[in-house]
């Protein structure tokens, strides 16, 4: 990582720009600059798919068009995130060196085509990428207009070629040392699948082994490590050619194939591409869901992140590509900033004329003017970001955290049982997230490897797999006074998916004061109820419905606060609480409805005196509150994702930075307020 990076000192605004599609239209390139300036755009991502334009034949480079563009952009106050073009290799390379092409799990090698489909191991591809990246860095790595490196594009997928298989075996040798150790950890005695030698191991395949769960899990870990290794190789080439500009790579929404936390130390800042399906359900729900993903991205480094792509209009790839209603673009863009982004960027600046993305929304559409509805909103959002300039580099401080862990997701979804049709992992995590946010808190969404030290309250939903040492972290969290919410189906297996013996949640039965005994899975549409125990200390009096899972626990010394209402386990605990050390450990036995989480968390947070962002302020439904802080100032964002205007009653001392009216917030309106702390 380059040591120096903290922030660019202003909010960045712009998007992916593909001038190589327009080189024979100089008038269009000129118009692009004028329109970008009018929209307050100050950064573009350049060169993402430009390899064949930069090296049309092997060894013959043509960087002149790019140089001309970077210079012109710079002269006009527009900086560049310069991409390494590995996301899409030129045709000549695939023809001459077929090993750069990816092989699928059935052993079939791909032909040239599409993008994001190279082998991460191929020495030829690595060499070609190194050469290209070094050329780019030598030529542009110190250009004042180039402010950062955009490494490749949306890394993803996997390669099963012989070179990657050999790498997988070395990775396993390093991890397990001996084949006996691997056999034990993978439980290969089952169905008599023991290996005699590492050379026999192959990645999972529908033609071979696909149900050795620990093999599947290690393969996914390996794919992440391979990808990070490839990315580091790309960055190293830039460094070796003398560029120390910060580097990032753009990540994707809930992309299952890579554990993004493993990228944390290898990039200088985290960035991601956000394409919510707006207007399908209530915008308030889509906003919560998107907010959680912004928080996942911010929590990877616990630093400002960058919104690298989003769509200014309608996408072309969602099953129904709706346009954004007036005001939504501005609200969605500012939401990223509210959650800790230092940029808003779009795909794309100018809409392509042909091929598969010709109908994908853009800042400048095929008509090409500045008098479109979308352009007007883009310009407005750019003006907003100029007003929020001082927020650049400010951080989000959260008292509440929530565990969302990729490896846990991999293990749980592959586990076979107790419900193979849907576990609702993401939805369950979201229920805790929504409850914290409705209680007016910032939330970090972290994985099991991250520290718990900054938090007072922690939700641990469906953490089926405990990665090494996780139970110890939870124990000390509660011991030192933390409030823990754990749900059913937690602490069941270790990190090679071997079931813990001697009871679960592993290592925490004394902390929780109970033991999980059976997990009843419910058919779709089947429900049970949680009924409050009379005079429960939370003072809750209504019943709530639950579905999908009902954990049947044996309580040792936890207090039941709710019990099941129906079935043969009516009367058995549905929510328990146990005091341990200086803290409290709650266990939520079933997949409860959202309002249960809202009410239970709300009461507990109140009793624990966890201060919300705006203490004493009752916010109307659908209004999101978040905050960022610098050394001198706390910035508070209020955003109304509802369809109706709402009334607000806010403390006098908060001064508006964006949006003047402190008494009313229109639909899709944003109000940013500040309070000086020094």
Give the active site residues.
Answer: 154, 309
- Three-state DSSP class for 581? coil
Least separation in angstroms between residue 1's CB and Zn ion is 27
Q: Which does 285 bind (CB under 5 to 8 A by kind): Zn ion, ligand GLA, none?
A: none
Q: Answer for the pair 561, 515: CB distance below 8 angstroms, yes or no.
A: no
Q: Rounded to whole angstroms, how far apart are CA atoms 600 and 582?
A: 20
Tell me how many degrees the CA angle 662-665-667 measures, rounded to the nearest 5.
170
Of 247 and 522, nearer to ligand GLA (C-beta) is: 247
Which one of the spans 42-50, 151-159, 197-205, 549-557 is the region binding Zn ion (CB under 5 A)? 151-159
Q: Answer for the pair 246, 148: CB distance below 8 angstroms, yes or no.
A: yes
- Three-state DSSP class for 140? helix
Beta pairing partners, 551: 519
Of 273 and 407, nearer to ligand GLA (C-beta) is: 273
Of 88 and 370, nearer to ligand GLA (C-beta) is: 88
Residue indicated by tokens 């390996």: 222
Position 159 contacts Zn ion (CB under 5 A): yes
Q: Answer for the pair 508, 482: CB distance below 8 angstroms, yes or no.
A: no
HSE (side-chain half, CA atoms, 13 Å) at 315: 16
Position 161 contacts Zn ion (CB under 5 A): yes
Least separation in angstroms between residue 121's CB and Zn ion is 5
Q: Which does 289 bind (CB under 5 to 8 A by kind): ligand GLA, Zn ion, none?
A: none
Helices (H), 60-161: 64-75, 91-96, 123-140
Q: Rounded to whole angstroms, how far apart are CA atoms 282 and 328?
A: 12
Residue nearest to ligand GLA (CB): 273
Quote the crossing angle between the two packed helices 179-186 and 213-240, to the nearest 10°: 120
319 secondary structure, DSSP code: S
Q: Which does 164 bind (CB under 5 to 8 A by kind): ligand GLA, Zn ion, none?
A: Zn ion
Q: Answer for the pair 654, 675: CB distance below 8 angstroms, yes or no.
A: yes
Q: Which does 201 bind (CB under 5 to 8 A by kind): Zn ion, ligand GLA, none?
A: none
Of 249 and 408, nearer to ligand GLA (C-beta) is: 249
Q: Which does 309 bind (CB under 5 to 8 A by kind): ligand GLA, Zn ion, none?
A: ligand GLA
Q: Rounded to whole angstroms, how far apart are CA atoms 419 and 415?
A: 9
Of 347 and 425, nearer to ligand GLA (C-beta) is: 347
389 secondary structure, DSSP code: G
Closest by CA position to 623, among listed 652, 664, 661, 658: 664
Q: Which does 591 bind (CB under 5 to 8 A by kind): Zn ion, ligand GLA, none?
A: none
Least separation in angstroms between residue 212's CB and Zn ion is 21
Number of residues this chain uses to bind Zn ion (CB under 5 A): 6
Tell me how many degrees the CA angle 309-314-315 measures, rounded to the nearest 5.
60
Of 305 and 635, nearer to ligand GLA (C-beta) is: 305
- The 10 Å Cβ neighbour count of residue 445 is 27
Q: Rounded to whole angstroms, how far apart are CA atoms 98 and 120?
A: 13
Which one of the spans 154-162, 216-224, 304-312, 450-458 is the region binding Zn ion (CB under 5 A)? 154-162
Residues in contact with ligand GLA by the rule CB under 6 A: 153-154, 273, 275, 309, 315, 347, 357, 360
Q: Answer for the pair 465, 459: CB distance below 8 angstroms, yes or no.
A: no
Helix H or strand E segment including 427: helix 425-438
Q: Rounded to whole angstroms, how far apart are CA atoms 626 and 331?
A: 14
Binding to Zn ion (CB under 5 A) within 87-126 occurs at 119, 121
Of 90 and 440, nearer to ligand GLA (C-beta) is: 90
Q: Which does 673 bind (CB under 5 to 8 A by kind): Zn ion, ligand GLA, none?
A: none
Of 153 and 670, nearer to ligand GLA (C-beta) is: 153
| Residue 473: C-alpha distances to residues 139, 446, 455, 468, 480 (Å) | 48, 13, 12, 10, 11
Q: Which does 347 bind (CB under 5 to 8 A by kind): ligand GLA, Zn ion, none?
A: ligand GLA
Closest by CA position to 221, among listed 171, 185, 270, 151: 171
Least separation in angstroms between residue 118's CB and Zn ion is 8
Least separation in angstroms between residue 44's CB and ligand GLA is 13
Tell me how many degrees the CA angle 325-327-329 measures, rounded to the nearest 5.
80
Q: Which does 154 bind (CB under 5 to 8 A by kind): ligand GLA, Zn ion, none?
A: ligand GLA
Of 179 and 307, nearer to ligand GLA (C-beta) is: 307
Least separation in angstroms between residue 355's CB and ligand GLA is 11
Least separation in angstroms between residue 311's CB and ligand GLA is 6
Judged by the rule CB under 5 A, the positions of this chain that interact with Zn ion are 119, 121, 159, 161, 163-164
């Amino acid at each position: 990582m380059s040591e120096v990076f903290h922030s660019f000192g202003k909010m960045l605004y712009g998007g992916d720009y593909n001038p190589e599609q327009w080189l024979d239209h100089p008038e269009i390139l000129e118009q692009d600059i004028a329109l970008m300036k009018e929209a307050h755009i100050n950064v573009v991502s350049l060169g993402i798919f430009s390899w064949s334009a930069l090296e049309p034949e092997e060894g013959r480079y043509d960087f002149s068009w790019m140089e001309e563009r970077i210079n012109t952009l710079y002269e006009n106050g527009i900086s560049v995130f310069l991409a390494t073009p590995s996301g899409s290799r030129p045709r000549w390379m695939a023809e001459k060196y077929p090993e750069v092409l990816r092989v699928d799990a059935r052993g079939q090698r791909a032909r040239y085509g599409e993008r994001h489909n190279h082998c991460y191991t191929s020495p030829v591809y690595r060499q070609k990428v190194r050469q290209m990246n070094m050329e780019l860095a030598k030529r542009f790595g110190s250009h004042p207009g180039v402010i950062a490196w955009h490494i490749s594009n949306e890394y993803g997928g996997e390669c099963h070629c012989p070179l990657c298989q050999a790498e997988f075996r070395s990775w396993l040798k390093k991890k397990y040392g001996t084949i006996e150790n691997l056999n034990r950890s993978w439980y290969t005695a089952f169905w008599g699948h023991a290996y005699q030698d590492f050379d026999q191991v192959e990645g999972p395949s529908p033609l071979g082994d696909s149900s050795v769960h620990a093999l599947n899990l290690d393969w996914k870990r390996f794919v992440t490590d391979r990808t990070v290794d490839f990315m580091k190789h790309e960055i190293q080439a830039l460094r070796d050619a003398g560029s120390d500009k910060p580097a990032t790579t753009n990540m994707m929404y809930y992309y299952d194939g890579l554990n993004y936390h493993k990228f944390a130390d290898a990039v200088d800042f985290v960035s991601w591409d956000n394409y919510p399906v707006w207007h399908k359900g209530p915008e308030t729900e889509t906003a919560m869901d998107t907010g959680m993903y912004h928080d996942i991205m911010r929590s990877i480094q616990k630093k400002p992140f960058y919104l690298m792509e989003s769509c200014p209009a309608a996408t072309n790839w969602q099953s129904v590509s709706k346009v954004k209603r007036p005001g939504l673009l501005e609200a969605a863009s500012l939401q990223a900033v509210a959650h800790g982004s230092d940029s808003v960027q779009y795909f794309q600046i100018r809409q392509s004329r042909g091929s598969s993305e010709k109908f994908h929304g853009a800042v400048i559409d095929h008509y090409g003017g500045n008098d479109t509805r979308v352009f007007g909103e883009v310009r407005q959002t750019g003006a907003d970001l100029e007003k929020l300039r001082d927020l650049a580099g400010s951080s989000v401080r959260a008292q509440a955290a929530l565990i969302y862990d990729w490896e846990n997701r991999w293990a749980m979804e592959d586990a076979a049982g107790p419900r193979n049709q849907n576990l609702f992992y993401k939805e369950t995590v979201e229920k805790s997230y929504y409850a914290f946010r409705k209680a007016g808190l910032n939330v970090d969404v972290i994985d099991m490897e991250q520290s718990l030290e900054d938090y007072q309250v922690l939700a641990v939903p469906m953490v089926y797999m405990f990665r090494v040492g996780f139970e110890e972290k939870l124990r000390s969290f509660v011991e030192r006074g933390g409030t823990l919410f754990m749900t059913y189906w937690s602490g069941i297996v270790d990190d090679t998916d071997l079931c813990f013996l001697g009871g679960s949640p592993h290592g925490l039965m004394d902390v929780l004061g109970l033991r999980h005994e059976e997990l009843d899975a419910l058919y779709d549409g089947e429900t049970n109820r949680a009924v409050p125990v009379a005079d429960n200390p939370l003072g809750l009096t209504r019943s709530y419905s639950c579905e999908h899972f009902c954990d049947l626990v044996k309580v040792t010394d936890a207090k039941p606060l709710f019990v099941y209402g129906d079935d043969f386990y009516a009367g058995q605990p549905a929510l328990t609480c146990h005091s341990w050390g200086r803290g409290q450990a709650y266990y939520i036995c079933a997949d409860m409805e959202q309002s249960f989480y809202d009410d239970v968390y709300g009461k507990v947070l109140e009793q624990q005196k966890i201060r919300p962002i705006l203490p004493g302020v009752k916010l109307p439904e659908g209004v999101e509150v978040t905050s960022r802080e610098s050394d001198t100032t706390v910035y508070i964002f209020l955003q109304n994702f509802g369809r109706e205007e709402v009334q607000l009653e806010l403390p006098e001392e908060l001064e508006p930075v964006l949006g003047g009216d402190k008494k009313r917030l229109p639909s899709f309106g944003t109000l940013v307020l500040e309070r000086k702390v020094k």
